[in-house]
Amino acid sequence: MDAFITWLHHDTAGLLLLAAAGIALLLFLIIKVKVEPFIALVGTGVLVALAGGVSIEQLVGTPTKSSDALIEKGFAGILGHITLIIGLGTVLGAILERSGGAKVLLDRLVRIFGEKGTPLAMGITGFVLGIPVFFDIGIFVLAPLVYVAARRGGRSLALYALPLLAGLSVTHAFLPPHPGPVAAAGLFGVELGWLIIMGLACGIPAWFVSGILWGTWIGKRVHTTVPEDMVVDEETGATGREPALGTVLLAIGLPMILILGGTFGNVFVPAGLGRDILIFFGNPAIALTVAVLLAMWLLGTRRGMAASDLAELTSNALRPIGMIILVVGAGAFFGAVLAATGVGKAVADSLATAGLPLILSAYVISCGLRIAQGSATVAIVTTGGILAPSVASAGFSQPELALIVIAISSGSIIASHVNDGGFWIIAKYFNMSVKDTLKTWTVLETVLSVVGFAAAGLLFLVV
């Protein structure tokens, strides 16, 4: 037994076996036992730590040194980076939703592209509104507008829904302030400005191929109708006067502009007050705080919304993100355990021996975790934890690190199927059978994943 424990703790094969057993247990708990992912991640992390030789004191600390405990450091490191960003991004999305900004944007795009171009208008709406709005919230907010478009156009609901869903999905996977890419950026030390640049560079072609080309092609061949139990209101999303389109675009684009300003200011602007100002306002938390306060005034107070209404809106918007934050924190703890036991280094050594490029390994591991357990966020944070030692020792540049994050994010959305909650939301809201959802949404996500990774891989060769 002692020989086996020594082999398990110190031999590369033993550490890889420990990693495989830990991930298998994690997937079993999530898929078969239906344990909440954050509980499964914490429980599995503790077991892997103990089996991997981490001492009790190192794992949970002592009454006088609890802050040094692996379980606290694992959670605190990533949550300190992402909590403000996710919370502020959620509030910004809620303000845009309540103000009717989504309807204003869609109506303008439909006027530009015409009735025949409505699917493209839907796709652009999903992409733009998907930046500040979480994926599932985007569906809830925008689905009634899709119903209106389908009834006006007299064509399949899928034709209008799929381009919109591609837009929401690509921003959720590739761009801040969404939890997956922000968490991966925190694990790898990526500046969010570079993540925005590479996310857009890879996400736009992936969105176009999956949502516009594939989505409109299959949408004409799978006929679905507006669900009878869904109320379609031509004025959905509006509260009183509609906001100006410029105001809506300012609220969405301002944080991205500020973050990019900080990134480029840090590189190109000489030291001094100007550079300090760019770096200050380019901090993601500061940029989003400015955007939220401006949106509260422009889209709320100035249009007659009382302070109590804004407070209630903020409170309601923040409630659903608790589980997201717990999953991300638990995933970071699991990753910290893998690093502490030496599993991360063993995986890194094995990848080096196998000769696989790290960006390809990142994609493959993320794909496997996504297909097995359904959650994109779990796939991202677990893959990030496994690969963090390899990434840290490789000396990648910021653009290269951002592309590795995009590769992981691409893998995390492949082949959405029956173990993914989003699969069932889409089937319900867009009146599709399981077969039709597999033919449309599952293939769309796979195309989005493959094209996004291909774009990341090509860019990785030239940056």
On whether residue 1 sits in a domain, the answer given is no
On whether residue 246 sits in a domain, the answer given is yes
What is the chain's Cα-based Rg?
23
The pLDDT of 285-297, averaged and rounded, is: 92
Sort 41 into a burial class: Cβ within 10 Å, 0-12 / 13-18 / 19+.
buried
Q: How many CB atoms lie within 10 A of CB 127?
A: 24
Q: DSSP secondary-structure letter at 242?
A: P
Q: DSSP secondary-structure letter at 136?
A: H
On whether residue 100 sits in a domain, the answer given is yes
What pLDDT digit, counting tens, does each position of 162-173 carry? 999 999 999 999
Sort 21 into a burial class: Cβ within 10 Å, 0-12 / 13-18 / 19+.
middle
Taking Cα atoms as reference points, which of 128, 173, 156, 125 lies closest to residue 448? Answer: 173
On whether residue 8 sits in a domain, the answer given is no
Structure-token pair, residue 323: 């589980």
Assess contact for 335 and 384: CB atoms under 8 A: yes
Q: Which domain holds residue 372?
A: 13-58+65-462
Tally of structural domains, the chain:
1
On whether residue 284 sits in a domain, the answer given is yes
Structure-token pair, residue 449: 């994943």
What pLDDT digit, counting tens, does each position of 396-420 carry? 999 999 999 999 999 999 998 876 8
Residues in the chain: 463
What pLDDT digit, counting tens, does each position of 55-88 carry? 888 888 776 665 678 888 878 776 776 788 888 8
On whether residue 3 sits in a domain, the answer given is no
Start-to-end C-alpha separation, the chain: 50
On whether residue 237 sits in a domain, the answer given is yes
Please give the pLDDT value at position 197: 95
The pLDDT of 129-146, averaged and rounded, is: 80
